[in-house]
Structure 1
Amino acid sequence: MSAPSEAAVLLQEVEAGIVVLTLNRPKKLNALSPEVMAELEARLQDLALWPGLRVVIVTGAGRAFCAGGDLAGFLQLAEEDPEALLETLAYNQRVLSQVEALPVPVIAAVNGVAVAGGLELMLCCDLLMAAEGAMIGDGHARYGIVPAGGATLRLGERMAPAVAARLLYTAELLPAQDLVFSGLLTGVVPPADLMERCLDLARQIARQSPGAIRHARALTRGALHSPERQARLDAEITAFASHLRGQDLYEGLRAFREGRTPVYGGGLTGMETDIK
């Protein structure tokens, strides 16, 4: 495989129709900064038009798959320009949906922690392979955030509803091994074997009829583009807009910035004005 300079926030390697995209902000646990999202969008748009594409693998550099969104940036926007924050979240959601919309299978090689936006990126992939020791969870509620990248929709689609509810409501991270039998993960392997196992799987897919695979993916995932499903994704952004009127988001993000545990009181949640 050939790769560009490691200075890039997103690396791309190519092998016979298999493309590996690597989030490359290891010191920030591959958090989804605006630069990462813009680069990811550009790569996905290019890949969607590449006729020789067979499989895409998404992974992270270093010890994390992806620790989620840019919370420091979210706080600044929430305090200075809430509408810009909503636009950013809607944009991020659209980019993640482009992963799901690719015409070929996508494999997530979950090399380490995957939380919040990292989990939402995982959920847009077809096959999820994780390294032993990887910790996976939703995590939004820990910092007072309403999921806006599709977690409230895709978690329930991909795994047992009770486990999905546990991830959404407790914000805890679970060991990858605990999520195999929930239906979320394809398998869990030793960390040193993760990429080779994912590449073996990708090569097996790439040996099959590319036309048949593309048709099969379009047929099995056709419902992903239904108006009802899109309405549920749109509802996340609407809910976030309501949440901006409350106190929890600001307390959660400030606690993250200050490195402390959030303290949520009984003040406004943002829902009061929506209840008639």
Structure 2
Amino acid sequence: MADLVSLDAITVERRGAAFWVHLNRPDALNSLTLEMARDLELAIETAEADPAVRAFVITGTGRAFCAGADLAALNAYGGSIMEPLEHFLAELGRVLRRIELSRLPVLAAVNGLALAGGLELVLCCDIVVSAEDARFGDAHANYGLLPGGGGSIRLPRKIGPARATYLMMTGEFVSAREMERAGLVSRVVPAEALVDSTQAVVEMLAAKSPLGLVHIKELAAIAGDCILEDGLRQELEIIGAYAASHDLREGLAAFAEKREPEFKGK
């Protein structure tokens, strides 16, 4: 495992085939700032530039994954916060979308509270591994706020409109097990096993075709955003394009020869 490298609001490390990002404002429950958002963008760009990196993992330092936007920083402006709030949400939304569209599989290793903007960050991840004592909540309504990082759009698509509306209106915090049943959390593990369990998922992904995983991400995104007939047509189009790849031919050859495939991501 490589040593941790500190940026201003996060620390990063290479762990096997994964690029791990640790949100690193534990005294503020890893609340989101513009600085943290920009560090996250730099981290995803750095990870994508390294062909040996096969997955991008986000976790928190301390007792929270991320408790949302840093409201204290916004309050510090005084007077009207319309302009700084709009600027913050535009930048945050851009970075979250950048993470969501990464060619890499993005995993959230949720180690504690994932609230408001923290939940919105989780919603942009492909796979969510959660400690069994983690808690999730939209929480915006508790302070008279509205979701501004895409949560009002992504949460209903992930867990259904009825459950999402309930969570957004009540601000209730719910367990990892409940979010697993709702369809947001992929795996729930003991807190002490979170890192190792997440890394085990990374190693499973690292054995797959990187190009194949890119297309699986694409197909999953299409599934949540189109009518059935269009989705089926696009599925065939993507498979048709992938059929010309080395990795598909290598996978079929490996199956026929009863050996492990050697994927190249092309």
TM-score range, shorter chain: 0.7 to 0.9
How far 1:118 sits from its partner (Å)?
A: 0.3
| 1:76-91 → structure 2 map (5 Å cutoff) | 76-77=76-77, 79-91=79-91
| Structure with larger RCO (C-alpha < 8 A, sep 6+) | 1
In the alignment, structure 1 residue 190 sits paired with structure 2 residue 180? no
- Does the CA contact (< 8 Å) of 2:17 and 2:202 recur in 1? no
CA distance 1:173–1:81, shift in 2 (3 Å): closer
Partner of 2:212: 212
Unmatched segments (≥5 aa) in structure 1:
227-276
Unmatched segments (≥5 aa) in structure 2:
227-266
How far 1:89 sits from its partner (Å)?
A: 1.1
How far 1:222 sits from its partner (Å)?
A: 4.8
CA distance 1:81–1:133, shift in 2 (3 Å): closer
How far 1:52 sits from its partner (Å)?
A: 3.1
In the alignment, structure 1 residue 35 sits paired with structure 2 residue 67? no
Which whole-Å CA distance do the structure 2 matches of 1:52 and 1:216 have between them? 20
- Does the CA contact (< 8 Å) of 1:155 and 1:164 recur in 2? yes
In the alignment, structure 1 residue 163 sits paired with structure 2 residue 163? yes
How far 1:5 sits from its partner (Å)?
A: 4.6
CA distance 1:16–1:225, shift in 2 (3 Å): farther
Q: With structure 2 as the length reference, what TM-score do the two structures score? A: 0.79
Partner of 2:175: 175
How far 1:220 sits from its partner (Å)?
A: 2.7
Partner of 1:15: 15
Which whole-Å CA distance do the structure 2 matches of 1:115 and 1:137 have between them? 5
CA distance 1:146–1:28, shift in 2 (3 Å): same
CA distance 1:47–1:5, shift in 2 (3 Å): closer
Q: Which runs of 4+ in 1 moved over 6 A?
A: 223-226
Partner of 2:97: 97
Partner of 2:232: none
- Does the CA contact (< 8 Å) of 1:78 and 1:85 recur in 2? no
- Does the CA contact (< 8 Å) of 1:54 and 1:206 recur in 2? yes
Which whole-Å CA distance do the structure 1 matches of 2:44 and 2:65 have between them? 18
- Does the CA contact (< 8 Å) of 1:29 and 1:67 recur in 2? yes
Which whole-Å CA distance do the structure 2 matches of 1:184 and 1:4 have between them? 29
How far 1:75 sits from its partner (Å)?
A: 2.3
How far 1:50 sits from its partner (Å)?
A: 3.4
Q: State the AA in 2 paired with 1:189.
A: V
SS at match of 1:102: coil
CA distance 1:149–1:224, shift in 2 (3 Å): farther
Which whole-Å CA distance do the structure 2 matches of 1:24 and 1:204 have between them? 27
Partner of 1:263: none
Count of residues paired in the alignment: 226
SS at match of 2:76: helix
Which whole-Å CA distance do the structure 2 matches of 1:36 and 1:225 have between them? 29
Which whole-Å CA distance do the structure 1 matches of 2:146 and 2:47 have between them? 30
Q: State the AA in 2 paired with 1:174.
A: V
Partner of 1:247: none
Which whole-Å CA distance do the structure 2 matches of 1:135 and 1:85 have between them? 26
How far 1:215 sits from its partner (Å)?
A: 2.4
Partner of 2:124: 124
Which whole-Å CA distance do the structure 1 matches of 2:5 and 2:15 have between them? 17
CA distance 1:43–1:225, shift in 2 (3 Å): farther
| Identity between Structure 1 and Structure 2 (%) | 38
Which whole-Å CA distance do the structure 2 matches of 1:212 and 1:106 have between them? 15
Deviations 1:68-126 (A, max 9, x none): 00101222346245223211111111111111011021111100010000000000001
Q: State the AA in 2 paired with 1:64.
A: A
**Which range moves more in the overlay, 161-170 or 120-129?**
161-170
Q: State the AA in 1 paired with 2:115.
A: V
Which whole-Å CA distance do the structure 2 matches of 1:187 and 1:108 have between them? 11
- Does the CA contact (< 8 Å) of 2:8 and 2:35 recur in 1? no
- Does the CA contact (< 8 Å) of 1:130 and 1:185 recur in 2? yes
- Does the CA contact (< 8 Å) of 1:103 and 1:218 recur in 2? no
In the alignment, structure 1 residue 3 sits paired with structure 2 residue 30? no
CA distance 1:193–1:39, shift in 2 (3 Å): same
Partner of 2:69: 69
Partner of 2:135: 135
